[in-house]
Structure 1
Amino acid sequence: MIFRKRGPRLTPVTKTEVVKRLLEMAPVKIGNSDKAVLVFFDLRCPFCARLFKEAEETLVEMASRGVITFAMCDYVVHKDAEPLHRKLRCTAEDERLKFIAEAFSGKKVEVGDCPEGNLRECERLAEEVGVYGTPTIIFYNFAKGRGYIHFGYMSPSEVLEAISAL
């Protein structure tokens, strides 16, 4: 028997207004393209960390060139991650990717006392588009008013494949 590697499972999504609101709330947003890549993550999720370490540089570079809008939106699954997500929202915008990298590296990160911000609103909206865990990635084309959602880890090549499908 020959086993073939299957491509990523992409589920159609057509909730343009909800995706736009999620992009507005995302603590990390780079670029301003009609094509968006929105990653829902938990700072204690090992597969979120892997996805970030492997794909973040490429996604930031694509967003800087205007190919995509790259955003990261909190979706707290692990209770001990909530203070980290609050701290992320208290961190200066230009320092947030560095904060995420430090949290994912396992370094001790000082969290201090930060307000919740719109963390719960972000999670509520995420559930409206079908997010139920992390990592989850939405690939959305605003010009077409549709996109795809993927649940779970994706390799960088699978991420690029999904972007090209937009």
Structure 2
Amino acid sequence: MRQQRLVGLAAIFVLVGLFLIPGNIAWGANSNKQSRTKCETLSEKDARAVLDSLRLNEAKILKIQMSPVQGLWELAVENRGDRFLVYVDCSRNFVMPGPIIERQTGIDKTRQRVEELNRERRVDLTGLRLDEALVMGDRNAPVKVIGFVDPDCPFCKKLHHEMKKVLEKRTDIAFFLKLTLIRQSPQVEQKSKAVVCNRSLGMLEEAFEGKALPSAECDSKELEENTKFMETNGLHGVPVTLFPDGSVQVGFVESSALEARINEAVGRMKGEIKKQPMDAGKK
């Protein structure tokens, strides 16, 4: 399986190799101190110029560091709430979005790094209504986790099963599911309206299983509000999971990893609460 995956990524390696050749030739041909210094450093001013040339004028630079590939700089960027990487060579003339694949392990280092960036981000949950959400578990459970899904999303279905596994072990957790039209299509809209208008978790699960849902219309603005919330916070796909401290999980995870992220979030919140009395006395 691993060999097949690596073979399938052979084209990517070839492209990355071709991309790196000009930079390496220039670096090796000009061995003076100025040339070496240019590759050993990438200032924020230079990084800003690269992003501006890509029409990412409003993007925020989160971090600049050397990528796993020698001679290729990694820019961690946030643009309109979306976090991603841009790779820049030593000449500052070539850029690429990735992925960078580690040959021996087959690990997508770009994806791994983006996941780290998303673990660091926080979404302000203030004002996010839960009264119309579909609830898995006890609505009054102390730990509330929010999930954005749509009925036609296969990874939402997979994550739904993993949420059930967590609930089999944890009665202190509840999942609040909010449907969204972030993936625009007539089919998604029709099924989502049916689920929201009936406020039916059962109908959502039927949709996950590929069953047809009756059309429905109602006065609820939940779909529009949920979609706007996602767009405002740079959340562009489903599933998305928001933990109690506002931390974010993009995409599917297994139940063990999901529970671990929940525990991390709760632990951080408890730590912050414990620090408050000490900080409150400082002037």
TM-score (norm 1): 0.76
Counterpart residue number, 2:264: 165
Deviation at 1:82, TM superposition (A): 0.6
| Structure 2 CA distance for aligned equivalents of residues 59 and 107 of structure 1 | 25
Counterpart residue number, 1:86: 193
Structure 2 residue identity aligned to 1:36: K
Deviation at 1:109, TM superposition (A): 2.2
RMSD: 2.7
The 10-residue stretch of structure 1 (22-31 or 1-10) with the greater mean CA deviation from structure 2: 1-10
Question: CA offsets per residue over residues 105-138 of structure 1, 9 Å max, x none?
Answer: 0122222x32261110121123333321101111
Partner residue of 2:220 out of 105, 117, 122: 117
Deviation at 1:61, TM superposition (A): 4.5
Q: Aligned residues: percent identity? A: 23
| Structure 2 CA distance for aligned equivalents of residues 11 and 51 of structure 1 | 21
1:108–1:128 Cα change, 3 Å: same
Tell me, yes or no, if structure 1 residue 57 matches structure 2 residue 161: no
Deviation at 1:34, TM superposition (A): 4.2
Deviation at 1:78, TM superposition (A): 4.1
Q: Which has the higher contact order (CA 8 A, sep 6+)?
A: 1
Deviation at 1:27, TM superposition (A): 3.7
- Tell whether the 8 Å contact from 2:147 to 2:177 is kept in structure 1 after alignment: yes
Structure showing greater Rg: 2
| Structure 2 CA distance for aligned equivalents of residues 136 and 83 of structure 1 | 21
- Specify every segment of 5 or more residues in structure 1 that has no aligned partner in the other structure, as ranges: 141-145
- Tell whether the 8 Å contact from 2:134 to 2:201 is kept in structure 1 after alignment: no
Q: How many residues are aligned here?
A: 152
- Specify every segment of 5 or more residues in structure 2 that has no aligned partner in the other structure, as ranges: 1-103, 266-283
- Tell whether the 8 Å contact from 1:74 to 1:85 is kept in structure 2 after alignment: yes
Partner residue of 1:47 out of 144, 148, 155: 155
TM-score (norm 2): 0.47
| Structure 1 CA distance for aligned equivalents of residues 151 and 195 of structure 2 | 10
Structure 1 residue identity aligned to 2:259: L
Counterpart residue number, 1:75: 180
| Structure 1 CA distance for aligned equivalents of residues 197 and 157 of structure 2 | 20
